[in-house]
Amino acid sequence: MKQNKLPVIEKSRHWLIVDKPVGISVHNEAGDVRSVLKKQLHPGTFHDIYPVHRLDKETSGLLLVATEQETAAHLAEQFQTHKAEKTYYALLRGALPVSDEWHEWSFPISDKSEGRKNPQGLLKDRVEAKTLYRVLEANKYFSLVEVRLLTGRQHQIRKHAALAKHAIVGDNRYGDQKYNDKMAEIYGTDRMFLHAFRLSLPIGGRIQTFETPLPTDFRRVLKS
């Protein structure tokens, strides 16, 4: 997906938060977040763009980047020590009971990219992984959940949802391709329905929280 400009939610001299669309990589690809921001921001105001945390190409939502390597390392440490936190919306296949209560997925998984045939990965590679979720809305076809990560394994939410038999709608790596193709045909979008909607992190001596609303395509599918 070609992107000429990214929505900036908040910025300072040392960091900024962007609302990343689906289909754009964070780094290591032509037209990625780093290259777009380097063109978008005023030349001479920074040396480079350093992503602080991961966000899959297929996932939309809030991404924190730094304009200095030292700042990036400091902010990344906040996530590693759980002083900073990302929270997601995910639209899952199938109905789950709506509840204010948080539940936990704790399937051990590898910290590698896997696939639908074996989302957990090889037994020798599996490590502890914990994901909290609560069901906000549901109908007989879909469940909208809020998700928090207690560990940070690669594709953790996607793997855990698939292992729980409620794969994320539109996730072609861990879900059912034929089902996702049918959903794309019905709803006119082939996106993966995972969105990082909240970032909480310590800035200026206090915890600050930044949010984006539920994407309109999530609401459209839920109300159909």
- Give the other-Cβ count within 10 Å of 113's Cβ: 11
**CA neighbor of 17 nearest in space, from 64, 61, 50:** 64
Do you know the residue count of the chain? 224
- Give the other-Cβ count within 10 Å of 169's Cβ: 27
Q: Tell me whether residue 56 is one of the annotated catalytic residues.
A: yes
In one letter, which amino acid is 131?
T
Distance CA 132, CA 89 (A): 12
In one letter, which amino acid is 60?
S
Q: Which residue in the list 19, 32, 48, 56 is annotated as catalytic?
A: 56
- Sorted by sequence, the CB contacts under 8 Å of residue 193 that are 6+ apart come out as 89, 90, 91, 168, 169, 170, 217, 218, 221
Label each residue of 64-121 as H, E or C. Answer: EEECCHHHHHHHHHHHHCCCCEEEEEEEEECCCCCCCCCEEECCCECCCCCCCCCCCC
**CA neighbor of 92 nearest in space, from 224, 193, 176:** 193
**CA neighbor of 87 nearest in space, from 203, 201, 204:** 201
Catalytically active residues, by annotation: 56
